[in-house]
Amino acid sequence: MKEHPPLTMKDIARELGISVATVSRALQDSPRISAERRAAIQKYAREHNFVPNAIAGSLRHSRVHAVKVIGVIIPEFTHYYFSSILTGIEQEASARGYRIMVALSAEQYEREVRICQSFHEHKVCGIIVSQAKDTHRYEHFQRLIDSGVPIVFYDRICTGVNASRVVVDDYMGAFNAVTHLISTGCRRIAFYGSAMTLEISKNRYNGYKDALLKHGLAFDERLTRFCDNRADAEMITPEMLAMDDRPDGFFAVNDDTAIGILYTAKRMGLRVPDDVSICGFTNGQRAIACDPMLTTVEQRGVKVGEEAADILIGQVEGTIPRGKAERRIVRTRLVIRGTTR
């Protein structure tokens, strides 16, 4: 779809045959303009999707110079991976003369929509985003792209729009992790993952299944659970470990979930890794703060953030065509520690 530059007050003034000052006053509901004329100008602005430049308005009477701003949407701040990605984005942006404006979606679709609208109003030069778990509609992203605002997705990509993305090799990360569990003697390996609406969940699940298949192990659906946090892992794992043919290994979608499994197994009197092996996915600080330390897949979040910022700035500055959906993959690596044999 062809991109259109955002409508300005100068455009409105030209189309209606009035001054920019008159447009500005009308949009600010100034009594210096007649009610009839105010209504007509405001109606035209609404019908043509005019978005006020909030930054310009706040700086109009200031000596502060406008800065190049990138909007960043984070699903949650408590997750080490997202905070490390934010570090990478900030480092790359700062080195190239940009600032970042960060907002938290808190995994909520409606909040994500409002943030996108706010970023648009503040005239950010582009947006870097990992979609919320709750997001199943993508019109808010498409509207930004149609308005000429470049978007780069990271981690949780949106397949519903044609936009640039940076991901880790989730499939191979999972495949290698499960292969390691098998090579150390595990034969019944459980999988704890997120909802399959997310591409990362599908890729890690497929990596898990294909590793079993390659090594001649049967897939048992009873060993798979939708579980992506520590609290749920601590609720679900006792039932799994009470099975007559209980799992002897676990592969979890993230470290927090893996640590929940570890805590539960130890509380039930099982030895890790002698009785049960556990592997996570992140390699955050918590992976080395537990006992034993966690075997996990390192995602290299700082590198993901740097790559996302590099793509966005390239599109803003014209070194990467905005119509081109750039795709970059950051390689993972398996970090072997004490929770596997």
pLDDT of residue 1: 46
Kindly give the residue spans of alpha helices, DSSP state H, lying in 147-283: 170-183, 199-214, 230-241, 255-267
Q: How far apart are CA 97 and CA 101, in angstroms?
A: 14
193, 133 Cβ separation under 8 angstroms: no
pLDDT of residue 158: 86
pLDDT of residue 65: 42
Q: How far apart are CA 137 and CA 40, in angstroms?
A: 33
Alpha-carbon separation of residue 254 from 91, 230, 294, 298, 326 (angstroms): 25, 9, 11, 10, 26
Tokens (6 digits) for 269: 């009197």
pTM: 0.78
Q: Which residues of the chain have pLDDT under 70?
A: 1-5, 52-67
Tokens (6 digits) for 133: 């778990």
Q: Residue with structure tokens 């990362």?
A: 200
Q: How far separated are the first and last CA of the chain, in Å rounded?
A: 53
pLDDT of residue 27: 84
